[in-house]
Structures are given as C-alpha cells and as structure tokens.
Amino acid sequence: MPRIRRISQGRRTRNATSQLNFCSNQSAEQINEQNVIERNRLSQIRATRTTEQREYANEEDMDRIRCNRSVISTRVVVNSNVRARRQINVALNTHRAAFHYNRTIDYSADQSVAIVPISVLCPHCNALRYKNETPGMCCASGKVKLTPLTPPPDALNSLLSGSGRDSKHFLAHIQKYNNCFQMTSFGATNVIRDIFMTIFKIQGQLYHRAGSLLPVPGDDYKFLHFYFMVNAPQEID
C-alpha cells in the first residue's frame, strides 16, 4: 500500500520551513521589492477579471471571512466557559474564600454554597433572618423593645417629604447639614461610674443632644454656634 503523502501546508512542513528560512535571509530592500512585484501582479490579475469573476471572488472572500468569524466566536465561547469553570474550581479550592470576595466568580454555581433568601420572620420585632440563623439575635426573643420614634416637627417633616424646592435642596445636601451637628454631646438612660475609674459604662438608650444650628433670636452664640457659625465669611477666607 503506497505511503500517504502529507499535505505541504502548515508551520512544521518542509516547504513551510524552507520558505521561512528563505524569507529570513532576505534583506529589507529585497522584501520591499518582492512586495511591490506581488502588488503589481495582483493588480494585473484584478484588472483582467470580468464582472462575474469579481463577484465570484468577492463571494469567496465573504464566505472565508464568515467562516473565520464563526471559528473565532466559537473559540471565544469555549474560552469563556473554560475560564468560568476555572473560577468555580478556584472558589471550591480556596480556603476562607468568604473573606476574599471576588465579584467575577459565580458563587451560586458552587454546589457547596447555598444562597437562600431571608424569609424567617421574628414574632416579636418582625425582623427577618435566615432559616438556620440563631433565633433571638435581633431582640433577645422580645426582651429588647425600642420605643417608636416621635414624629418630627412640621417644619422638619416638610423637609423630609421630598416635595418642594427646599425639601429637595435639603435632601441633596443632608450630609453637609448632618456634619454641622456632629460635634454634639451625648447622653444615656443610665451612666454607671465606678470610683477611681477613668471610664464609664452606658446602659439603656444612647442619644445625642443636638441643639439648634443657630441661636434663638436675642440669644448669644455659644459652643457649636461660636466655633462654626460666627464670622462664617472670615472662616472661609
């Protein structure tokens, strides 16, 4: 049986190797001269083609381009799937991965990870928790009860509504207004002081004693008013 002849195409064939060696031994002038000759030859061939031959050649070129694009897109999909599988394997084999969260990894695809919704409702404070979460972590099974917040005054409530020019301006700059009251004293329901101790314990509710940003008409500036609100143009300069 005759020996099957190999196709003389590819990077490792004898013809390809000899052609590569021939091109590498040429000078820059020889390469430019051959390129000019090749361009002229192709121009002559295209000039002698008829309209039907041009259309046929264009169709062949378009088919070749479509085939190359389909191959490239298939490779892209395959490579993407391979990268996704590698990322999942990395998440499986990584110790303490929860402390090094990577948003490019789909943790829900990991069989050892169960991402469930927060669906269990506390019967005492109506807080939501996970199914296997320890009960009583929210309100100590009804022992901790927070008093409802008192409604704000009408002037402040109108600023929180979101309707009107003043309200929209206040909500857009609420952080700046809040920073103006950050240096305030705080109080607690019960402050426990031990003898000869430089620290104190707080029990019960903790709150801030924030006064008005500006003094009452007829009253003098003091504390927060004096340090931050007096001579504002001079402080800015």
Residue 83 and residue 22 in one domain: yes
Domain that holds residue 172: 154-180
**What is the number of alpha carbons within 13 Å of residue 87 lying toward its C-beta?**
15
Give domain status of residue 6, yes or no.
no
Cα–Cα distance between 205 and 139 in angstroms, integer? 14
Task: Quote the CA–CA distance of 16 and 25 in Å, as a whole number.
Answer: 14
Q: What is the pTM of this model?
A: 0.32
Same-domain check for residues 215 and 236: yes
Same domain, 172 and 193: no
Among 76, 91, 106, residue at a domain's last position: 91
Rounded CA-CA distance 199/208 in Å is 19
Q: Are residues 22 and 86 part of one domain?
A: yes
Condensed to tens digits (0 to 9), the pLDDT of residues 171-213 reads 998 888 777 766 666 777 777 777 766 777 777 777 776 667 6
CA gap 116, 119 in Å, rounded: 8
Q: How many structural domains compose the chain?
A: 3
Residues in the chain: 237
**Is 33 part of a structural domain of the chain?**
yes
- 216 lies in the same domain as 166: no
pLDDT computed for residue 65 by the predictor:
82
Which position has the higher pLDDT, 127 or 20? 127
Mark which of 91, 118, 133 sits at the end of a domain: 91
Q: Report whether pLDDT(231) > 60.
A: no
Provide DSSP, 137-205. TTTTTTT--PPPPPPPPHHHHHHHS--SHHHHHHHHTHHHHHHHT-S-EEEEEEEEE-TT-S-EEEEEE
210-226 residue pLDDT tens: 667 677 788 776 665 55
DSSP state of 106: -
Note the pLDDT of residue 234. 52
Residue 115 has pLDDT above 70, yes or no: yes
Are 90 and 105 within 8 A, CB to CB? Answer: yes
Kindly state whether residue 146 falls inside one of the protein's structural domains: no
Residue 222 lies in a domain: yes
What percentage of the chain has pLDDT greater than the value 90? 6
pLDDT score of 91: 46
- State pLDDT tens for residues 19-66: 777 777 778 888 888 888 888 888 887 788 788 877 887 888 888 888
Q: Are residues 30 and 43 in the same domain?
A: yes
Question: How high is the pLDDT of residue 85?
Answer: 62
The whole-angstrom separation of Cα 199 and Cα 115 is 43
Examine residue 42 and state whether it is found in any structural domain, yes or no: yes
Three-state secondary structure call for residue 36:
helix
Assigned domain for 67 exists: yes
234, part of any domain: yes
Residues 169 and 191 placed together within one structural domain of the fold: no
- The 3 state secondary structure assigned to 124-147 is CCCCEECCCCCCCCCCCCCCCCCC
Whether residues 200 and 236 fall in one domain: yes
In a domain, residue 149? The reply is no
